[in-house]
Amino acid sequence: MNQNEAPDKLSENLSGKAPDGLTGEAAESLLDEARCEINGIDREMAELFCRRMAAVRKVAQYKAAHGLPITDRAREEEVIRRNAALIGDEAIRPDYIAFLRETMEVSKEYQRRLLAAKETSAGGTPGRWETVMRLREESYPITVERGALARAGEYFAPDRKALIVTDSGVPEEYAKRVAAGCREAHLVSIPEGEASKSPETLFLLIDAMMQNNFTRGDCAIAVGGGVVGDLTGFAASCYMRGIDFYNIPTTLLSQVDSSIGGKTAIDYGGIKNIVGAFYQPKGVLIDPDVLKTLPERQIAAGLAEAIKMAVCFDRELFERIEASNAEQILDEIIIGSLRIKQAVVEKDAKEAGLRRALNFGHTIGHGIEAERGGELLHGECVALGMLPMCGGEVRRRLLRIYEKVGLPCRFDGDVSRAIAAAAHDKKAEDGGIRVITVERVGEFEMKRETLAGLESRARAVWGN
């Protein structure tokens, strides 16, 4: 029996139609024979399946080590074309293509499970949590490890120039520790605060790279909070049309949120983040030890962004934060938040849909930030901005957490002015502002809201 005859015979038999000239016992005996043959093939396939999955495991290890995405559609299509051509019988070639596609999905699911196990198992490096943001050719590793700061330079720039950007609020020794591992480090410290997200500071960084003859093979490393990360990432995206950028966030807010996902920007014309780019880092290294020197108010402000993610996406994490002393479970909160953000960004890196949920609390939050002229921290404004956008029960639970961690519960400023400032926010569009609301913990809705609607929500909560 040649390869192409077997399936024909099987299909005839399995459809209940005996081949010409065969009836009764002869047909049944052919059926038995075919079933035996299938059993044998299944046994061989079980062996082949184990061998295939062992090879898939090696591919998963390689991809994780090199920050490569699990899905590579171009390669999948090429493999399918190549293998489909091996099937001589056109009638069954589409079935084989479907089978190959299924097999690939099974393999990818296995790779995802292996990666997830690696993230959580004690089999990885103890005390280190690692994952890969899977964004095809823009994929990158994210590592959380206490004490990692000391090996950062060596990790990112052992053999090239590195512009290390930090700010006056970050202990000097952090950037110096990173610089110590670099072959040639150029340190720039900018003034702490949002005012540094300016064209002037951007060009200060560009000048520093030009004066030190940085080429496209060199890199920029941010050692600081959200301002340093946004600015350095944007400078890296512009310099010579893009050099490698690494982020070492040193505030809780940047560790849980802004350091991953590739949002980089400066402010201009009084508008936050109006000039910017999606520019993914090549790696993110998070050392929770650096939080020891962070003032309690900054920790609380960082928690606001973690609470934002939990309240929208993860009821369990929210309940953990509710039930615990947050400072004692900071690693868990950081990793929990990174997992949420990673899943969101992998689905929607450019904020075309799902990622908008990460702006929960930011519309009124930005209005409050503008109205209070920098008096409140960004995270504090986001915390306040979430309150009018929640159902009553969620708001009560949020307020209990705010009291416990030291976040503001009331906005005492001018609501109308804050809402007017929110209208300048870049998310304002004709027909209203896109907002996120949360009626139940772990679930969110995207809506459009008029300015009047936003104002009445805020007044209903604060009255002023």
Interface residues toward ligand GLY, by CB under 6 A: 257-258, 261, 263, 355, 358
- The residue (of 358 and 422) whose beta carbon lies closer to ligand GLY is 358
User: Is residue 341 annotated as a catalytic residue, yes or no?
Assistant: yes
Which residue among 63, 186, 356, 362 is the active-site one?
A: 362
Q: Name the minimum Å distance from CB 231 to ligand GLY.
A: 15
Which residue among 351, 417, 424, 427 is the active-site one?
A: 351
User: Is residue 173 annotated as a catalytic residue, yes or no?
Assistant: no
Which residue among 186, 308, 341, 397 is the active-site one?
A: 341
Q: Name the minimum Å distance from CB 344 to ligand GLY.
A: 8
> Is residue 379 within 8 Å of 301, Cβ to Cβ?
yes
3-state SS track over the chain: CCCCHHHHHHHHHHCCCCCCCCCHHHHHHHHHHHHHHHHHHHHHHHHHHHHHHHHHHHHHHHHHHHCCCCCCHHHHHHHHHHHHCCCCCCCCHHHHHHHHHHHHHHHHHHHHHHHHHHHHCCCCCCCEEEEEECCHHHCEEEEEECCHHHHHHHHHCCCCEEEEEEECCCCHHHHHHHHHCCCEEEEEEECCCHHHCCHHHHHHHHHHHHHCCCCCCCEEEEEECHHHHHHHHHHHHHHHHCCEEEEEECCHHHHHHHCCCCEEEEEECCEEEEEEEECCCCEEEECHHHHHHCCHHHHHHHHHHHHHHHHHHCHHHHHHHHHCCHHHHHHHHHHHHHHHHHHHHHHCCCCCCHHHHHHCCHHHHHHHHHHCCCCCCHHHHHHHHHHHHECHHHHHHHHHHHHHHCCCCCCCCCHHHHHHHHHCCCCEECCEEEEEEEEECCEEEEEEECHHHHHHHHHHHHCC
User: Is residue 355 annotated as a catalytic residue, yes or no?
Assistant: yes
- The residue (of 256 and 376) whose beta carbon lies closer to ligand GLY is 256
Two structure tokens written together for 210: 């030009």
- The residue (of 262 and 388) whose beta carbon lies closer to ligand GLY is 262
Distance, in Å, from the CA atom of 401 to the CA atom of 195, rounded to the nearest integer, reads 30
Which residue among 63, 119, 177, 359 is the active-site one?
A: 359
Q: Name the minimum Å distance from CB 258 to ligand GLY.
A: 6
User: Is residue 362 annotated as a catalytic residue, yes or no?
Assistant: yes
Q: Name the minimum Å distance from CB 313 to ligand GLY.
A: 13
Distance, in Å, from the CA atom of 192 to the CA atom of 171, rounded to the nearest integer, reads 11
Give the residue among 371, 380, 382, 360 at the shortest CA–CA distance from 416. Answer: 371
Q: Name the minimum Å distance from CB 134 to ligand GLY.
A: 16
User: Is residue 43 annotated as a catalytic residue, yes or no?
Assistant: no
Q: Name the minimum Å distance from CB 359 to ligand GLY.
A: 6
Which residue among 134, 177, 197, 263 is the active-site one?
A: 263
Give the residue among 441, 431, 429 at the shortest CA–CA distance from 390. Answer: 441
- The residue (of 177 and 356) whose beta carbon lies closer to ligand GLY is 356
Which residue among 119, 145, 305, 380 is the active-site one?
A: 305
User: Is residue 282 annotated as a catalytic residue, yes or no?
Assistant: no
- The residue (of 111 and 232) whose beta carbon lies closer to ligand GLY is 232
- The residue (of 163 and 382) whose beta carbon lies closer to ligand GLY is 382
- The residue (of 162 and 248) whose beta carbon lies closer to ligand GLY is 248
Q: Which amino acid is at 274?
A: I
Tell me the pairing of strands 161-167 and 219-224: parallel
Residue facing ligand GLY at closest CB distance: 358
- The residue (of 119 and 257) whose beta carbon lies closer to ligand GLY is 257
Q: Name the minimum Å distance from CB 400 to ligand GLY.
A: 24
User: Is residue 464 annotated as a catalytic residue, yes or no?
Assistant: no
Q: Name the minimum Å distance from CB 369 to ligand GLY.
A: 14
Active site residue ranges: 241, 263, 305, 341, 351, 355, 359, 362, 366, 378
